[in-house]
Amino acid sequence: MNLPEQLPLFHLPPATPAVKTRHIQIGARIVPYELRQGAGRRLAITIDERGLRIGAPPRLTFAEIETFVRGHGDWVLAKLDEFAVRHTHRHLRICDGARLPVLGADVEVRVLTGANRVLWQGDALVLAARPDADLDALARRGLQRRALEHFALRLGHFAGIMGRAVPAFGLSSARSRWGSCSTKTGIRINWRLVHLPPQFADYVIAHELAHLAEMNHSPRFWAVVASLYPDWRSARAELKRRAAEIPLL
């Protein structure tokens, strides 16, 4: 797709070109954008909650790049407005009584007076906070703790099916990938998957574990994924759709 709305998932990122922040006038609007020159052989537009980003070959001038963007101006403005609405709806205010989606359940946040400690009491996320505490940061700490515990259990489950030792494991906060696998550093799973029902994290974990057998996306690789998670096709398709629903904290 020439005008992707999101970066592809599960791919190792290329070397990052230099990023420049510029502005372009589209109709009556001044739109900021990030420009990465030297990013591939084709000019590409990406729009997500971070705004407008453009990857361009090094040979193109700013005038050529911006002529291309203006040629898709209506699409660009519509997508920017769409993501602005999504961002507003997805940004949850952490306060006493707030509710968060966690592994397919609806979890209540309780805010108490305390020394910035986080604990889980049943299905409630309790933030024992000082008056000046960053409640968003405390909530992230609690959610990451729950994600680490749950994902580690599922990683052990799928590693057992493969007959492999459990690899090194950690959480990721990446904005463009759900998971990564390295023979040196092990597997990283995006903690934000904790906001979705458990089957989506299962698919991502199975996907990354399969890379220990096949460090590619060949038919052999997908056969390993299918042996771990037979319904991977529908999980992958649904995950792409549900990604836009994950809260922003």
Query: Mind listing the pLDDT tens digit for each residue in 172-216?
Result: 988 778 999 988 889 999 999 999 999 999 999 999 999 999 999
How far apart CA 92 and CA 88 sit, in angstroms, is 8
pLDDT for the residue numbered 42 = 83
pLDDT for the residue numbered 159 = 95
Total residue length of the chain: 249
Question: Which residues contact residue 107 at a Cβ distance below 8 angstroms, ignoring those fewer than 6 apart?
Answer: 99, 100, 101, 123, 124, 125
DSSP class of residue 84 equals H
The average pLDDT across 80-86 equals 74
Q: Which CATH architecture describes the domain 134-245?
A: 2-Layer Sandwich (3.30)
| Cα distance between the two ends of the chain | 30
The residue that leads in pLDDT, 241 or 160, is: 160
Question: Which residues contact residue 159 at a Cβ distance below 8 angstroms, ignoring those fewer than 6 apart?
Answer: 165, 166, 167, 209
pLDDT of 4 over the 60 cut: no
Query: Which stretch of DSSP H or E encloses residue 135?
Result: helix 135-162
pLDDT of 106 over the 70 cut: yes
The average pLDDT across 70-89 equals 79
Residue ranges of the chain that CATH labels 3.30.2010.10: 134-245
22-67 pLDDT tens trace: 899 998 888 888 888 875 678 888 887 778 889 888 888 889 999 9
How far apart CA 231 and CA 236 sit, in angstroms, is 9
pLDDT for the residue numbered 210 = 95
Percent of the chain with pLDDT over 70: 88
pLDDT for the residue numbered 193 = 96
Q: Whole-number mean pLDDT of the chain? A: 86
The average pLDDT across 92-98 equals 88
How far apart CA 130 and CA 133 sit, in angstroms, is 5
pLDDT for the residue numbered 12 = 36
Global pTM? 0.67
The residue that leads in pLDDT, 11 or 66, is: 66
